[in-house]
Structure formats: C-alpha cells, structure tokens
A and B are shown apart, each in its own frame.
Chain A
Amino acid sequence: MIALLRVELDRLRWRRAVLALLALGVVVPVIIFVGTVLTSQQKSLAELREDYGPSIDDSISECQARPRQWGVDPDGDVAAACTDRISASYGNQRLNLREQREAGSGPAIIAVLAMLMLLLGTTFAGHDWNTGSINNQLLFEPRRQRVWLAKLVAVGLVGGVLALVVLVAHWTGLHIVTSVRDLDQPPQALAAAYKQAVLGAALVAAAGVLGYALTMLLRSTVGTLGVLFASGFLGIVAIAVGFAGSERFMPWSNFMAFVVGRYTYFVTDSCFASDCNPERHVDRSDAVVYFLVILAVVATASLSTFRRRDLP
C-alpha cells in the first residue's frame, strides 16, 4: 500500500496541471497576504487629507459633535476615537488578526485552496479515465479498492499539507507584521488563527478528496465540473426563490461555520409573528456533519462503482 501511495504521489507531482494548481495554491495566498499587509498600513491624517481632501476633517468634526451616532463613547477620548473611526471608514483599518480570521484573509485563502484542490482531485482522476491509463494500472494492481484508496490518500495528503503550510505561514507572517507595527491583538488571537489553519487544512484536503471521489464515480472531469456547477446554480436559485432555511444547506454557509465557528443568517419569509426571531445559526458541529455526509455518500458510491463497474 505504501509503494502504491508513493507511486500515486509521483503520478501527482509529474502532472503539469497538478503542478500549476499547486503553484496557484502558493501564489494566490501570497497575493492575498501582500494585499492584506499593504491595505492595512496606517496612514497619517495628513496622508488621508492628501488622498481624500477636506471631507476627512468634515467627518471628524461631525463625529466629535455627535459621537454616539458614530459609535464613539462620548465619555472617552472623543477626538482620538473619532479620528480612528473616520480613518477606518476611509479604508485605513488596523491589522487585526481576529477580523482577518473571521471575515478576512483566513477564510479567503481557505476558500481559494479548497477550490484549487477540488480541481486538483478532479483533474488527477479525470486524466486516468480520459487517457485510459487506469486500465494499465489495474493490469498491474487488480485490487481496485487499493488503487482507489492510494489515489485518494495522495490527493488528500497533498492538499492537506499544502494548505497547512500556506495557512501557518500566512498567520505567522501577519503576526510578525502586527508585532513590527506594534499593534495590540486580542488574547489568544494567534492560537485561534493556527487552529483555523488546521481546520482549513482538513477542509482543503476534504475538497480534494471530494473532487477525486466524484470524478472516479462519474469517470469524467467534465461530468464532475458539470455536477458542481449545477449544484451551485441550484443553490443560488433555491435562495433566490426564497426557500425558507435553504441557506442552512448551502456550501458557503457551512464553509464559514466550519472555519469561523458559526455562521449567522436570517429567515424573513416565514417569520411574521412578533415573537419570531429571524436569526438562524449554523454551528461548526452542523458543518462537520454536513461535510461528512456529503463526503461519505460520494466516497461510498465512488468506491462501490469503481469496484464493480466494467472499465471502459
């Protein structure tokens, strides 16, 4: 089994499409990292005035006159708080690890990596079917479940390791930037970021495995991409026509719940009573079940058909 796994890892690294996807899996997060660092650089008030003109001062004056309306505590240092608040509203936000983890670069990188690994798993399996080389492989190792498993582990391993390395590097880099800029961070912010890196790596690995298993089931890269696009499209339609609670079952909601811990959405079309709370949540545990069920169904169908069906 180990020999077979090594063979599949070589098969992966010798494929140019796979190498291109892995390169993108490094380049895109680097771009996101650089973008995050650059856009969070603090500008002085003078630099903001240069960029945006006197409207900055007008806004600060308005904030100081009515601090509550701007969310500033009137009993504190109103001048400093208003300057910070107005600066932030002009895009001059301080780098904050918690914000980056909950709605910033963290989920963005995980989403990008998950998409890339989904494609990697798809193209890896699709190539075997498109070229017919799977026939040759089974003439050497006829135990189909072993072949299926070795390929699956190879895809999962490559996706998981890449994601872990990239995400840990990202958070370490952001932590260094906050230290250099001498910015205070919420307690345990870095530990929480590393935890998200581990969760993200697991999700990215699962995305690769899903792409692989689905393609082994459908025996076609185009078929897999078609199914993924169709399910995404149906999800958008379901939300657009207002199926109550459909957001609970959308990949994006569950993705955010998994990597952040909780995803909040609102149900308005079936909540008319005065005591009805339209707020709904998807928790991480819900997301784990959601993803595990999808993976289990696809993987079982994939392995079962690969073992039984005639090869083309």
Chain B
Amino acid sequence: MAEPVVEIRGLRKEYAGRKGSHVAVADLDLTVHEGDVHGFLGPNGSGKTTTIRMLLGLASATRGSMVLFGHQVPASLPEVIGRVGAVVESPKFSPNFTGRQNLTLLARSVGVPTQRVDAAIETVGLTGRDRGRYKTYSLGMKQRLAVAATLLKDPRLLILDEPTNGLDPSGIREVREMIRDLGEAGVTVLLSSHILAEVQQVCTSATIIGNGRTLASGTVTELLGGSTSQRLVVPDQAAARAALEAAGLQVTGSDGEALLVESDQPAEVTRVLGEAGIWLTGLAPVRADLESIFLTLTEHDGLGSDS
C-alpha cells in the first residue's frame, strides 16, 4: 500500500463557551494514502472544515496527532506547506485586487516564480479575466481563482473543502473533471464534501464522519460492498418485519411494496422467513450507493449537531 500522506489520530477540538465546552471534533481518525482521491464525507456541521483547518494550522487542536508527509503538524507545517494546496470554505482574496495581483502576492510570499501565475491562470481557464478585480468575479470564477492559488505551489496534496459549493452545473462538472485529472496525474486529493454523488464519482476512498467522529473509512468499493441490502416482497410486511427482527436482522425501511433488510446473505433471510411460515414472492439484492451508507451511518449516530 502507498505511504500515508495524511494521518490523523485521536483528533479533538473543543470550543469553550459560556454554557460549557462544545466538542466540534471528537477523537477523529483519518488516513489518506499517496495517490488517493479521498472523500471526506459528513453532514453540515459534522466537523469536516474544523478538521481541515486544524490540519492546515488555521485552528489549534485540543489534542490528537496530525501528520502530513511524515511530519507532525502544525509544528512542522512550514516544512510541508510547500507541497500542500488548499481551498478552505469559500475563496478569500482581496476584493479590490485583480485575480492576477492576488495570485502574484501569494506566489511571491513563498518565492514561487511569477511565471507559474500565468500557468495556473491558464489551467483554470481564467486567461483574459485575470486582470479584472476579484470583486467583479462570479462565484465560479472566484472558485477557479482559489484552485489556481492551490496550483501555484505545484502541490503533491490538494485539500479541497466543498469546492463545488455555489457553482452552476457546468462549473461543477469542470471542477470534478479537474479533480479526476489531478488524481490521475498522481496528486493526492482530500475532498471534503457533503455531496455524496460527487464523492462517489471522483473518489477512490472515503472517510465518513458524524458529530466529529469517524463512522466509516475505506475504499469506495469497500464502503459500498460492505452494506448490501435485500429487497423483500412479502404478503404480510408486519409479520415479516417481526420475524426478521426477532432473528437479529435489521429492517432499514419499506417502500410500500417491499421491505428493505440490511443483509448480504439472501439465504439467511429466506430461511428466517420460511421458518416463520412466510413465503417470499420476491427477493432482490439492493446494491447500496454511498448515499444510503451515509444516511444509515449518520442516522444511527443521531446527527444534527451544530458543531
């Protein structure tokens, strides 16, 4: 397996408030291997952005360990930041400067040759608009400029926090294609998102968090494969539900005509129902998508936190 580029263990962030402390991230674990396009999934307020901000030194951790390229951060952040490009939340630039001026200032602050500004502008398709003031840019252009800023350093790790927020469909597609291209070019990407389809489309692995804790982690195939449901058509749904639950199987829902049972063993489901005298009129495996995995995990976690 490739070397881990990001390794987070037992990360915790507490905010002190008048009514006591508030836990935004609670003992979170996250590993991203070199070359991965890793989805970082969680509902709004689950602690994704806080985790990224701690990783990049913008916020301090209450406790836990964070390693980037084998270096403990934030202590060794100056040694590795040159290999990390990041867009955290919405793009933030000086509104009265042009896009080019904003990029030039950032490039020169770390000694990046200003020729790379031209390359970055061209890569994100802002050529011709780079001399316009940032405040006149559309949201899509602002997002592109933020991506251009991350490319200035020729990063080996790209951290993108909700990069498609506010973009129109064509903008979303362009950003997703860009992420895929970067991944294929060997850049490791950590993509924070609450858009499940986005992660499923572009990521090779993912970590799902809720209430600041890691709920599941692995390759997208592993996450999907480990949670197959069976769709059962039975004459008496109430009796079938009772029999299945008595046998320890979890009924995750009903679509009116059929019951959904979380199990990857149809033979076991058939046996339980047969022993209860309930005869199936239909049985089909339901291949889970990331959305159902996510909803199942987060429902169990009782989410809705405001962290």
Contact = CB atoms under 8 A, between A and B. Distances in A.
Interface of A: 3-4, 6-7, 10-11, 14-16, 127, 131-133, 135-143, 308, 310-311
Contact of A133 (B93, B108, B110, B153): B93
Contacts of B57: 138, 142
A142 B55 CA distance: 12
B76 to A, nearest CB: 10
Nearest to B101: A14
B81 A142 contact: yes
Given A136-B106, A142-B78, A311 B94 contact: no
A8 B188 CA distance: 32
Nearest to A127: B94
Contacts of B108: 3, 6-7, 10
26 contacts: A3-B108, A7-B105, A7-B108, A14-B96, A15-B94, A15-B96, A16-B96, A127-B94, A131-B93, A131-B94, A135-B58, A136-B92, A136-B93, A138-B57, A138-B58, A139-B81, A140-B106, A140-B109, A141-B78, A141-B109, A142-B56, A308-B60, A310-B59, A311-B53, A311-B58, A311-B59
B109 A3 contact: yes
Contacts of B84: 139
A136 B53 contact: no
B203 interface: no
Contact of B53 (A4, A133, A310): A310
A137 B57 CA distance: 12
Contacts of A137: 106, 109
B109 A132 contact: no
Contacts of A131: 92-95
A127 B105 CA distance: 15
A4 B109 contact: yes
B133 to A, nearest CB: 11
Contacts of B153: 140
Contacts of B128: none
Contacts of B110: 3, 140-141
**What 10 A-B pairs are tightest by C-beta distance, nearest first?**
A132-B92, A310-B59, A142-B77, A311-B58, A7-B109, A142-B57, A140-B110, A7-B108, A140-B106, A140-B109
B74 interface: yes
A288 B65 CA distance: 47
Contacts of A138: 57-58
A310 B109 contact: no
Interface in B129-168: 149, 153
A131 B153 CA distance: 23
Given A142-B74, A310-B60, A11 B111 contact: no
B94 A139 contact: no
Interface in B64-98: 74, 77-78, 81, 84, 86, 88, 90, 92-97
Contacts of B109: 3-4, 7, 137, 140-141
B51 to A, nearest CB: 13
A139 B96 contact: no
Contacts of A127: 94
Nearest to A311: B58
A233 B57 CA distance: 39
A311 B77 CA distance: 16
Contacts of A141: 78, 81, 109-110
A50 B110 CA distance: 69
Contact of A143 (B78, B92, B94, B111): B78
Interface string B205-232: 0000000000000000000000000000
A140 B58 CA distance: 12
